[in-house]
């Protein structure tokens, strides 16, 4: 098969191919999978993708994927699929501890049917996308992929307020309030400690009895 320069040029400008090559370098995809998807049986076309400018674009995309947690998320998805086999091995192992078997059964059951409540929790997420390359595009220049910042986070439950105080969602307010009400009062100790300047004042130093402002002889 002869070398097709037009095909190689079009592939180098394909953003999806760049992402797949990032996945290949991260161990998510194999070389065979990438070649089959993009019909890269021609070794000359595959080798031509090693040009310096194209490799630089792949490295920039790989950095962006790491910062956006896309690499971590896809690697976790790749490895978690082996979890059921491992759990099944623990569950069916006659030498396994009974507690470990029960834990494996519970985990497998949760993986088999997460339920609608967990699905709803997974959907409650906040995704913020900040594009810092608007001025660059307005000038007709090519923006830098690093100028796009993506923040993806789960929504945390709102804390409850008790007596005007914000408490954590796991805080048992009624139990804590009842415990505080049952606490014994702290007794005050005896008067002032020895040596206090106001403890041994003589009666002559105290204010005279009578109407304030008048001295009684």
* Residue 166 located in a structural domain: no
Does residue 125 fall inside a structural domain?
no
pLDDT-wise least confident of 126-135, 150-159, 170-179: 170-179
* Position 199 pLDDT exceeds 90: no
Confidence of residue 209 (pLDDT cuts 50, 70, 90): low
Q: For residue 180, is it within any domain?
A: no
Asked if the structure places residue 92 within a domain, the reply is no
Q: Is 114 inside any structural domain?
A: no
Q: Is 27 among the domain residues? A: yes
Whole-model pTM?
0.49
Total domains in the chain come to 1
Query: For residue 75, is pLDDT > 80?
Result: yes
149, 150, 153, 155: CA torsion to nearest 10: 100
- What average pLDDT does this structure show over 166-182? 55
Q: Establish if 15 belongs to a structural domain.
A: yes
pLDDT interval class at 23 (50, 70, 90): very high
Q: What is the CA radius of gyration of the chain?
A: 36
Residue 101 forms part of a structural domain = no
Residue 9 sits in which domain range?
1-66
């Amino acid at each position: 098969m002869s070398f097709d320069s037009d095909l190689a040029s079009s592939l180098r400008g394909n953003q999806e191919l760049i992402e797949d090559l990032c996945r290949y370098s991260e161990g998510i995809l194999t070389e065979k999978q990438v070649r089959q998807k993009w019909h890269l049986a021609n070794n000359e076309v595959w080798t031509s993708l090693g040009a310096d400018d194209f490799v630089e674009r792949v490295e920039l995309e790989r950095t962006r994927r790491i910062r956006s947690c896309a690499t971590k998320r896809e690697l976790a998805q790749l490895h978690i699929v082996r979890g059921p086999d491992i759990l099944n091995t623990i569950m069916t192992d006659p030498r396994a501890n009974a507690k470990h078997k029960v834990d494996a059964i519970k985990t497998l059951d949760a993986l088999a049917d997460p339920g609608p409540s967990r699905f709803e929790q997974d959907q409650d997420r906040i995704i913020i996308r900040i594009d810092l390359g608007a001025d660059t595009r307005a000038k007709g220049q090519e923006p830098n992929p690093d100028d796009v910042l993506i923040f993806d986070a789960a929504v945390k439950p709102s804390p409850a307020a008790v007596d005007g105080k914000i408490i954590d969602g796991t805080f048992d307010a009624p139990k804590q309030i009842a415990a505080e009400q049952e606490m014994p009062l702290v007794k005050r100790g005896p008067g002032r400690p020895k040596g206090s300047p106001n403890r041994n004042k003589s009666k002559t130093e105290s204010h005279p009895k009578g109407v304030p402002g008048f001295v009684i002889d």
